Amino acid sequence: MNQNITACGQKINIGTRVISWQEKAGLVCPNKRGRANCSHHDPKLNDAPSRQDAAYKIRKPESAYAELVQHVHQFVLHYDACYSSLHCHQLMTASSFKGSHFYLDLDGTLYQTCDLYWKTNSAPADDQQGNERSVHVEMANLAWEALARESEWLHTDRDKYQKKKGRWVLSLPAAYRKKIQTAGFQTSPSRTYGERGYFSRKINGRVVRMWDFTEEQYRALIKLCIGVNHLLPAIKLQVPFDNKSGRHPLDRLKNYSKYSGILGHAHVQKGENGVARKYDPGSAFNWSRLKKTFEKHAKS
């Protein structure tokens, strides 16, 4: 069982299941590009229409890796507003532009869709250079689509999370439930807020209501972050935190382009210069858990 993530052929074992794009069950990034600030590939692949996967060749992988380490300093976290990673991948494939290096499914299964050398177009940021400096993970979570009254494209007549025997459970369509790698997996949030279950906070001007990610997702994400840091050390094991307020900011950061570490799509993209406003990984995401874990890891 593969537990490695890969950059320019360099691999590191992160201690959790990773389904590589090279495996039979793998999901291949449909819209990867060449990074303009990297030189070990055909420059025609930079922001060109997607080509056959065989066209994406890395010249001199060791030199390419050394170059990549110098240029990539952000790991951007997203929710996918989808039922599952398969659902997300279907939407990415239907797009002519979007992609992500990783998907993180409800049961904690990770998919790496391409070598980290390549650029995927998940977060252009307000300076439209965000994808050049970052790698991305799309984490399965419906965000506000789980709420019937707020859903924008996955309409239902009742909330997609229902309380059963005192536990909030996500009702997944059979087509996606059967494709989850863990047989019989029951999707429940890691944390809940009061009787209503979902969290609610304003992010970049919008109140975002959503149920939390699963415990399995948090465990896998933490291992992924540590692994990404080992492969690309300019991505520091830190998350946005305001020492004065003692809180994790949710809005776009003032220094968003220079920040080196793990941050959300909302931290880099308030919606300027022709790009859309973003809110992920949303109001429920447990930034404090990541901060405490990374601090503990640094002392170990």
pLDDT tens per residue, range 159-191: 999 999 999 999 999 999 999 999 999 999 999
Domain CATH for 51? 3.40.80.10
Do residues 135 and 121 lie in contact, with contact meaning Cβ atoms separated by under 8 Å? no
Assigned domain for 132 exists: yes
For helices 215-231 and 287-299, give the axis angle rounded to 10 degrees: 50
Assigned domain for 189 exists: no
Assigned domain for 158 exists: no
Residue 77 pLDDT level (bands cut at 50, 70, 90): very high
Query: In which element (H, E) is residue 71 found?
Result: helix 61-71
Q: List the domain range (segments joined by +) for residue 82.
A: 4-143+213-299
Assigned domain for 97 exists: yes
Q: How many CB atoms sit inside 10 A of residue 199's CB? A: 20
pLDDT at 189: 98
Say what percent of the chain tops pLDDT 70.
Answer: 100
pLDDT tens per residue, range 36-69: 999 999 999 997 778 888 889 999 999 999 999 9
Assigned domain for 161 exists: no
* Count of structural domains, the chain: 1
Assigned domain for 24 exists: yes
Do residues 207 and 259 lie in contact, with contact meaning Cβ atoms separated by under 8 Å? no
Assigned domain for 250 exists: yes
Residue 199 pLDDT level (bands cut at 50, 70, 90): very high
pLDDT tens per residue, range 249-293: 999 999 999 999 999 999 999 999 889 999 999 999 999 999 999
The pLDDT mean for the chain works out to 96
Q: Which residues pair with 110 in a beta bridge?
A: 18, 104
Assigned domain for 151 exists: no
pLDDT tens per residue, range 102-117: 999 999 999 999 999 9
